[in-house]
Amino acid sequence: MPRRRTLQDLADAAGLSLAATSYALRGVRGSPATILRVRQLADELGYTVDPIARALASGRTGAVGVSGSLRDLWQQDLSVMVTQSLRRRGRYAMIADADADPARERLIVEQFVAQRVDGAVVSPVDPSAGYWRLLDPAVAVVAIGDALTDRPGTGSVLFDNRYGVQTALAHLASLGHRRVGLLAPALPSTPGRPAEVLAVEVSAALGLDLAMVPAPAATAEAVAVLADLLSGPDRPTAVFCLSDSLAFAAYRAAREAGVPVPGELSVIGYDDHQLAGLVSPGLTTMAWDEDAIVEAAVSQLLALLDDGPPPDGAAPSPIFRPELVVRGSTAPPASR
């Protein structure tokens, strides 16, 4: 049986130190030519990283946990983008599905602890939960969307939900809508998430009659909730969905109820998922710069891994603002 190639073998072939070879192999240091040469030599020699040896030598596993609610289409895409970014930086990512369930999210945190991940990038279901403290302070954690208020030293990438909610509802108000349904993910332990609270405030300021309806995160399961909303004589003339997954559920429920979009029901989403421009009519929605969000999260994670949290315990949190993308799903209300 041939001997397993070691990092020293690769360093000798490249004429570099062990440290320089390791950095080049992971693409974190070295010129582009050196990185390419080391990786080509690794392929020629049949060298692969021994995760056990690396963990013993460095005290790190190289693993990063990635958690989100993956039945939401946008979070699916974001999680994939995070893992791709981590892979390019020589990190191994493990994706876990919290499924919009705080109890499942706690199990995921416990799993990350047991697997001794170096870090985690999470889209939290319950950002205020105490179980986030189960992750050792030495574990680098970055939260996307909401800050983990009960775990000091955690990085975060935040969303300007006030601007997003204000812009979406103002768009509907400008078209003449007055009764608007708000479809929000049903999260039993976190009933007052920022976007929902803001929607109530903004609607009052705009003179909108807002009907808030909790719905399952999964598109298929949310259809029944929308069917109830659309079945009454006092149904809204527009629905604002706090995810594009829920907006697609609104399309299906409207079609099954014989309510044309946008003729009798305007629909606006909150993600600009890649399907938003492919459905008919195209979905009006709030778009995020996913590439920039992922880059900010992963860069912050690597900084925490390399340098630890800042001395004052509070790293600056980038805040991203969504952009309104108007397509065919919104129009002035029909007179009824």
pLDDT digits (tens, 9 = 90+) for 9-34: 888 888 988 888 878 877 767 888 88
Residue 108 has pLDDT above 90, yes or no: yes
Task: Say if CB 74 and CB 270 are below 8 A apart.
Answer: no
Highest mean pLDDT among 50-64, 92-106, 309-323: 92-106
Whether residue 179 has pLDDT greater than 90? yes
- Is residue 207 pLDDT above 90, yes or no? yes
pTM: 0.78
Confidence of residue 54 (pLDDT cuts 50, 70, 90): low
For 287, list phi and psi in degrees, rounded to 5: -100, 135
Mean pLDDT estimate for the chain = 86
Compute the distance between CA of residue 330 and CA of residue 271 in angstroms, rounded to an integer. Answer: 16
**330 contacts: CB under 8 Å, gap ≥ 6:** 171, 172, 175, 238, 262, 266, 267, 268, 284
Between CA 216 and CA 258 the distance in angstroms is: 22
Token pair for residue 248? Answer: 């697609």
Cα gap 137→148, rounded to integer Å: 13
**CA nearest neighbour of 184 among 172, 170, 194:** 194
Q: Which of 290, 283, 246, 289 is nearest to 266 (CA)?
A: 283
* Residues ≥6 apart with Cβ < 8 Å to 279: 248, 251
pLDDT tens-place string over residues 276-293? 999 999 999 999 999 999
